[in-house]
Amino acid sequence: MASSIETGGAWSTMEDVSLCEAWLQVCHCPVTGNEMKFFHMWKKIHAEFCEKIPGSTRTEMALSSRWKILNKELGKWRDALSKAMENCRSGENRTNEMIQAQMWFGATGGGKKSFNHHECWDVVKYCKRFIIIPTGPPVVLNETPLRNSMTSESPLDSPMSEDSPIEKEPRPIGRKAAKAKKAGNSSNSNSKFLEEIARQNAIRIELEQKRQDNEMAIQAEFSREREYLHKKHMEKTDRETMAMDTSHMSPETKQFWKLERRDVMRRKRLFQDDGLATRIG
């Protein structure tokens, strides 16, 4: 099966991560990072990228275009995380913070409902462009009161017109009855509030579990793709070694390639023997 890297199609997670690593290494180099021209910068980023993903057909233009997309999304994710940190209630854990950040991102993501480049964020989150710096004291959004406000106007304080068609109560409610009624309303509000908290926590736990499952699946795919590329690179190198024409080389160079070929054949035999032993076992 052909890899997306070989066909130059959709970008894989490994390609995005490698692009971010190459960008970080080149642009944040303490020696040349601030003085490099745009053309030379992308030439170096392309070279670093190709070292990380041997055999890639991505061009400098393709890397530059992809980085524009990643840069925009990473910037929005930084802003969303910053808002979530500022608005997170005291005592809440990182899961709640991530859920709030995803909500902020979805509201400002330009059509994208959630942020999916967490591996790329882990690469760039401490660099100067994306680091999150607290800007002010924490505030709380959508705070739900524990009980109903007691400052609302009581119906008893609004005298009814003598001509009102609504029948008046024969006798105003007493103090003890009024206190009991208020206590009942407060208890009912507290129960509803606690039920809402339980419901929100269940939703958060479900979302976090889905996110963790998604991250594990991405990591597994990332590892398989890296292993596949490494194997393809080794096979290509081995074929080139075995096909090397040494007729025009010096005796020392011929001896070197002879040893290299012997090493290839040794590895091939070990691989075949190991496969045979596995089948027999």
Q: Please answer whether residues 5 and 15 qualify as being in contact, where contact means their C-beta atoms are separated by less than 8 angstroms.
A: yes
- The distance between the two most distant Cα atoms of the chain, rounded to a whole number of Å, is 121
Q: Is 133 helix (H, G, I), strand (E, B) or coil?
A: coil
Q: What is the pLDDT along the chain (281 residues), one digit of tens a residue?
A: 444 444 468 899 999 999 999 999 998 876 665 567 777 899 999 999 999 999 999 999 999 999 999 999 999 999 988 888 887 655 556 677 788 888 888 887 566 678 999 999 999 999 988 998 766 554 444 444 433 434 344 343 334 333 434 444 456 666 666 666 666 666 666 677 677 777 777 787 888 888 888 888 888 888 888 888 888 888 888 888 888 888 888 999 989 988 988 988 888 786 666 554 455 44
Q: What is the C-alpha to C-alpha distance for residues 26 and 23, in angstroms, rounded to an integer?
A: 5
> Angle formed by the axes of helices 175-242 and 251-280, to 10°?
130
d(Cα 139, Cα 241) in Å, to the nearest integer?
A: 64
Q: Tell me what pLDDT residue 11 has.
A: 94
Which phi and psi angles does 67 have, rounded to 5°? -65, -35
The pTM score is: 0.47
Rg (CA), the chain: 33
Token digits for 195? 């039920």
Helix axes 13-27, 60-87, angle to 10 degrees: 90
**Domain residue spans in the chain?**
4-124, 247-281
Q: Which residues, at least 6 apart from 120, have a Cβ–Cβ distance to it below 8 Å?
A: 16, 17, 20, 70, 74
Residue in 111, 105, 38 with CA at minimum distance from that of residue 74: 105
Residue 230, token pair as written in the block: 């490494």
pLDDT of residue 182: 65
- At 136 the three-state DSSP class reads coil
CA distance 73 to 19: 14
- Given a contact cutoff of 8 angstroms between Cβ atoms, the answer to whether 21 and 123 are in contact is yes
